[in-house]
Amino acid sequence: MRSLYRRQLTMMVSIMLVSFTLLAGAFMLLSYRYIIGETRDLAERNAGYVSSFTSSYYLQNRTIQSHFYSGYVASLARISNSHIIIANPDGGILYATDGWNFYTYENNYLPPDLVGDVMANGSYNGMTNLGGIFPERRYMAAMPIVTDLENLTVIQGLVLVSADATNLSEMWSATATIFFFSAVVVFLISVIASTLTSVHQARPLNDMAEAARKFGQGEFDVRVTGYEGRCDEISTLAESFNAMANSLEKVESQRAEFIANVSHELKTPMTTIAGFAEGILDGTIPPERERESLEIVVAETRRLSRLVRRMLDLSRLNALAEHSVTAQEAFDLTEVMSRVLISLEGKITSRNLDVEVQMPEDKLMVWGEPDSVTQVCYNLLDNAAKFATPASVIKVQITKKDGKAHVNIRNLGATIPADELPLLFDRFHKADYSRSMDREGVGLGLYIVKTILGGLKENITVTSEDGVTQFSFTLTLA
């Protein structure tokens, strides 16, 4: 596996090498062109001076074999740091000086192709060693010596000015040296910077990987800390990772609590059923109490059946909420509430309760899933009837406001403590005041209500003051 450090180091070194190669190539090319241009201009200018002077001197003296002429040529060669050659039109060398010394190249001739270029084109410039006259290649500029004699143009000879090219090689050598040492320094800086950056980036990732491994082993209290002040993507990732860890810990806690609650809720009726059945079988319970015991067994069996049915309903709701979007349709909320009130008429009458209903006379169309909303209304009204004080009034109110239908269900009974209100919608939660009186409940009704309304993107609230408990939820008007 290639680490983040190796990848980043490879990328930085590659970019550095490509950049330095391009920069060095461009710099050397520009330097070469600049030096060659300067050398060419200087050599051509000096060749022009010598050619013009030679032509004038020849017209005045009819010869160039003099100390004055040779001294002038030597001075110019010394000043320009060049080598000057004077040759016959056929290429035979007459003078050759570097400004300090004169050289005799008897019976030496210039290359015929160079002489031909000068005669044909009027000039020559390029790199050459003049067919071996010079031991190294030099930059050469050549021009003809032209004299006008009685309206007749005559080429009296050739002037060649050569410049030493060793300075160009020295420049390339110096550039290569500078480039090499610069590349080494930048490479070392890049390695150090890449190492520090990679460590800075990889440490939180390694911490998160280690935390993830611990999550897999069941340690859900692990968090990634120490990166809160970075204010970069790593900090955001660490915060998101910790948020995910909190969610996982909460889910695991809820799962453990759910299993414990289910075990408790299932164990209680099963223990009761087994106890009374064994008592009847072994004769512990006298015959005259067998019917009473069987009635308790039947009640506990029905309670166990309701618990299983509610858990199945809860699983179905959770599956729908996680894997699909509930299909919504428009329906009449007042009709749904009326049907629920009629279905609960027996329970309401048995407890001598009155129902005060305040609903619009016309249809009140809302968006939702009719069966699910029916279950919401049923659970809330059944809960109100169950815990209302006998012979008291249950109030059902439906109003419209800000594009929403607001449903309030109020009953008179025991006041729910303030610290219990946020827990009413949790799974298997039953307020302490109701445990003894609610033998039929399993603590899932309000949780199912919360789940259904949450799937519809609606809200539900509860208040309880001075014995008046009210549940309020909303639905979107169609």
What does 9-68 look like in DSSP terms, one character per residue? HHHHHHHHHHHHHHHHHHHHHHHHHHHHHHHHHHHHHHHHHHHHHHHHHHHHHS---SHH
Distance CA 113, CA 446 (A): 108
| Alpha helix stretches (DSSP H) within 62-153 | 67-80, 112-121
| CATH H superfamily, domain 4-169 | PAS domain (3.30.450.20)
Q: What CA–CA distances, in Å, run from 387 to 28, 83, 383, 435?
A: 95, 120, 6, 11
- Longest CA pairwise span in the chain (Å): 164
Give the span between the Cα atoms of 37 and 77, in whole angstroms.
Answer: 19
Is the distance from CB of 238 to CB of 204 less than 8 angstroms?
A: yes
**pLDDT value at position 314?**
65
- CA terminus-to-terminus distance, the chain: 58
Q: What is the pLDDT of residue 404?
A: 93
Q: Given the DSSP bridges, would you call strands 152-163 and 354-358 parallel, antiparallel or unpaired?
A: unpaired
Q: Strands 460-465, 329-332: parallel, antiparallel or unpaired by DSSP?
A: unpaired
Residue 433 has a pLDDT of 44
Give pLDDT < 50 ranges for the chain: 1, 323-325, 432-439
**Smallest Cα–Cα separation from 385: which of 418, 421, 409, 358?**
409
Residue 319 carries which side chain, given as an amino acid letter?
A: A
pLDDT for position 438: 46
**Phi and psi (nearest 5°) for 25?**
-60, -45
pLDDT of residue 434: 44
Query: Could you tell me if residue 456 is left (phi over 0), alpha (psi between -120 and 50 degrees) or otherwise beta?
Result: alpha
* Interior angle at CA 435, CA 431 and CA 436, nearest 5: 145
326-476 matches 4-169 in CATH topology: no
**Is-contact 372 451, C-beta < 8 A?**
no
DSSP 332-384: EHHHHHHHHHHHTHHHHHHTT-EEEEE--SS--EEEE-HHHHHHHHHHHHHHH
Element (H, E) at 124: strand 124-128
3-state class (DSSP) for residue 79: helix
- What tokens does 278 get? 């064994």
**Residue located via tokens 């949790």:** 426
Q: What is the model's pTM?
A: 0.44
191 φψ region: left (φ > 0), alpha (ψ -120 to 50), beta (else): alpha
The torsion angle over the Cα atoms of residues 327, 329, 335 and 339, rounded to 10 degrees, is: -20
Quick check: helix, strand or coil at residue 6? Answer: helix
**Residue 334 has which token pair?**
């007042």
CB atoms within 10 A of CB 436: 7
Per DSSP, the three-state class of 151 is coil
Options 3.20.20.20, 2.130.10.10, 3.40.640.10, 3.30.565.10; CATH of 326-476: 3.30.565.10
Q: What is the pLDDT of residue 168?
A: 62
Q: CA-to-CA distance for 84 and 71, rounded, in angstroms?
A: 12
CA–CA gap between residue 118 and residue 96 (Å, rounded):
18
| CB distance 377 to 336 below 8 Å | yes
What pLDDT was estimated at residue 411?
A: 94
What pLDDT sits at residue 103? 78
- Name the residue among 135, 159, 134 with its Cα closest to residue 146: 159
Q: Break the chain into its structural domains and give their ranges.
A: 4-169, 326-476
Burial class (CB within 10 angstroms; exposed 0-12, middle 13-18, buried 19+) of 175 = middle
Which long-range contacts (C-beta less than 8 Å, at least 24 apart) are formed by 352-357? 352/390, 352/391, 353/385, 353/388, 353/390, 353/391, 353/392, 353/393, 353/394, 354/392, 354/393, 354/394, 355/393, 355/394, 355/395, 355/396, 356/393, 356/394, 356/395, 356/396, 357/396, 357/397
Amino acid at the residue 400: K
Residues 6+ apart with CB under 8 A from 21: none
